[in-house]
Amino acid sequence: MYTMMQVCRELDMTYETLKYYCNEGLVPHVKRDGNNRRVFDEKAVKWIKDLTCLKRCGFSIQEMKDYLDLCLQGENTIIRRKEVLAQKKEALLASIKELEDSVAYIDWKQNFYDEVLSGERPYVSNLIRTD
pLDDT band for 126, please (50, 70, 90 cuts): confident
Task: State the pTM of this model.
Answer: 0.79
> Residue 131 pLDDT > 80, yes or no?
no
Rounded average pLDDT over 67-83: 97
CATH class of the domain whose range is 2-72: mainly alpha
pLDDT band for 45, please (50, 70, 90 cuts): very high
Give me the sheet containing 31-32, strands edge to edge: 2-3, 38-40, 31-32
CB proximity list for 15: less than 8 A, separation 6 or greater: 4, 5, 8
Q: Where are the domains of the chain?
A: 2-72
